[in-house]
A and B are shown apart, each in its own frame.
Chain A
Amino acid sequence: KAGVTQTPRYLIKTRGQQVTLSCSPISGHRSVSWYQQTPGQGLQFLFEYFSETQRNKGNFPGRFSGRQFSNSRSEMNVSTLELGDSALYLCASSFAGPYEQYFGPGTRLTVT
C-alpha cells in the first residue's frame, strides 16, 4: 500500500508570497493532519481535517489555512509568507479515531 505523499518536496519562496502544499493520504485514511517543524519550536500541530471539515486547529495565525477534498487529499496554504515560516511541513494520515498516524516525507519550505 502506498504511503503518504507530499508535494512539492522542496520549495523556495520570497517574503510576502503565498504557497500551497499538497498531501495525499494512505488509501482508506480519512483524517489528515499537518505539522510544522522548526529548529526553535520543534514539531507543532497546525490543523486536522476529517471528511472535508477542519476538526482541530493549533495555535497558528490565520495566514495558515487548509482544506480537504472528497478523496481525502488535503492542501495547506500559507499567505503573506514571513521568514519565520521557513520550516519542514509534515502531513500525517490515519483512520478516524485514536489510530496510528503515518507521516509523509515532508515539504521543506524556505522563505527568502
Chain B
Amino acid sequence: GIQVEQSPPDLILQEGANSTLRCNFSDSVNNLQWFHQNPWGQLINLFYIPSGTKQNGRLSATTVATERYSLLYISSSQTTDSGVYFCAPKLDSGSRLTFGEGTQLTVNP
C-alpha cells in the first residue's frame, strides 16, 4: 500500500513563529487532506488539496502531486495551534485515507 512519511515528528515553537510541515507519499494520489487533531481526539479538517496551493487565514498548503509531497505552512503560530497534524492521501476511488504518523506541534507562549 501507499507509504506516508511526515516530518518533523515533533516541533516546538514560540508563539508568533512560522513553520513548515512536510508530507511525502509513495504513490500517485487522487486526494490529499490535512487534519489537526484536537486534545479530545477529533480530527479537524484543514485542507482538501489533491494538487496546487490553498490558503485559509494563517494556514496554507501546497501539494505537488507529480513529486509526491505536500507542505503545510503555519504562520504567526498561536498556542491554540498546538496538537498533532496529519496528512492523509487517498490512492483509489474509494474513501480509504492512509495516515502518516503525524507531526506533534507545541506552541509555547
Residues of A within 8 A of B (CB): 31, 33, 35, 37, 42-45, 48, 50, 55-56, 58, 88, 90, 92, 94, 97-106, 108
B25: Cβ under 8 A from any A Cβ: no
Q: List 6 A-B contacts (CB under 8 A).
A: A35-B97, A50-B95, A55-B94, A98-B90, A98-B93, A106-B42
**Alpha-carbon separation in the docked complex, A97 to B45 (Å):** 18
Q: CB of B103 within 8 A of chain A?
A: no
Instruction: Tell me if B73 counts as interface (CB < 8 A to partner A).
Output: no
Residues of B within 8 A of A (CB): 30-31, 33, 35, 40-43, 45, 48, 50, 86, 88, 90, 92-102
> Which of A43, A98, A105 is close to B42, meaning CB atoms less than 8 Å apart?
A105
| Contact A97 B93, beta carbon cutoff 8 Å | yes
Report the minimal beta-carbon distance from B39 to chain A, rounded to whole angstroms.
Answer: 12
Tell me whether A45 and B93 are in contact in the complex, defined as CB-CB below 8 angstroms, given that A102-B45, A106-B41, A106-B42 are known contacts.
Answer: no
Contact call A100/B101, Cβ cutoff below 8 A: no
Q: Which residues of B contact A35 (CB under 8 A)?
A: 97, 99
Asked if residues A108 and B31 are in contact (CB atoms below 8 Å), the reply is no
B30, A98: Cβ atoms under 8 Å? yes
A88 touches B96 (CB 8 A): no
Rank and list the top 5 A-B pairs by shortest CB-CB distance, nearest first.
A43-B99, A100-B48, A103-B43, A56-B94, A98-B31
